A = this chain, B = another copy of it.
Amino acid sequence: MNNITDDNYLKAIYHLGLTTNEKLVSPTMLANELLITSPSVLEKIKSLIAKKYITYSKKKGITLTKAGKDMAVNVVRRHRIWETYLHKHLGFNWDEVHAAAEDLEHVRNEKLIDKIFEVLGHPEFDPHGDPIPNKQGVFPKSVRRALSASVMGCKIIIVGVTEHSDAFLKYLSDIDLNLNDKLVVIKIIEFDGSIQLKGRNNGIIQVSKIIADKIMVRCEKENCRCK
């Protein structure tokens, strides 16, 4: 529970480092991510450097040290385990788990997190399809790609999303797209990249390219052209 601030900075740096490919992580980016000002970030950067969690130079940006990355991955691990637990064992919806996990991720009780992880049967993915790192910080591998990269006939299974906003997750629920759903791509509208899917009880679901970009899937059709 101590150092919630450190947790949040390191998590944000880690996250930005992954999502903002190529470009470095700058103080301004961090400030935007954390909804604070850049002088505040600059100050905190000094303290995180002193604690040897990060390095920083204007040209190289902010990078996590081994210790910093370990810390960040541990926060991610706790977050995702709690999300899974809230969903699987406490009946929280896909779009409700995040807020609660934001708090629970800071509870550093190893026995607690180990226990709920065990009760869950050591899952590899959380309710958003995001991989849960093991205690050593190693992430499980998964063959996943955006739904938008599908071709006609793909037999896809939804394994995750790249946007976690309540609004987005709610929308997916509303159009009856849920994690682990199996669907078949029945039409691709070349004009705008929209995709039509056939789901359970043959219901037809159509999603725009914008949505399809954010839905991660695995294609289970053998020798599918999508590969």
Q: Which residues of A contact B (CB under 8 A)?
A: 1, 4, 86, 90-92, 96, 99-100, 103-104, 106-109, 111-112, 115-116, 119
Residues of B within 8 A of A104 (CB): 104, 107
In the assembled complex, the CB of A150 is this many whole angstroms from the nearest CB of chain B, namely 36
Residues of B within 8 A of A112 (CB): 86, 90, 100
In the assembled complex, the CB of A9 is this many whole angstroms from the nearest CB of chain B, namely 16
Residues of B within 8 A of A108 (CB): 103
* Complex CA distance for A91 and B109, rounded to whole angstroms: 14
Residues of B within 8 A of A91 (CB): 115
The residue that A92 contacts in the complex, of B86, B92, B100, B111, with Cβ under 8 A, is B111
Residues of B within 8 A of A116 (CB): 90
A99 touches B109 (CB 8 A): yes
Q: Nearest CB to that of A96 among chain B residues?
A: B111
B103 touches A107 (CB 8 A): yes
Q: Which of A90, A91, A104, A109 has the most CB of B within 10 A?
A: A109
A109 touches B119 (CB 8 A): no
Q: Nearest CB to that of A109 among chain B residues?
A: B100
Q: Nearest CB to that of A99 among chain B residues?
A: B109
B103 touches A109 (CB 8 A): yes
Which 8 A-B pairs have CB atoms at the shortest separation, nearest pair first?
A103-B107, A1-B103, A100-B109, A90-B115, A100-B112, A104-B107, A103-B109, A91-B115
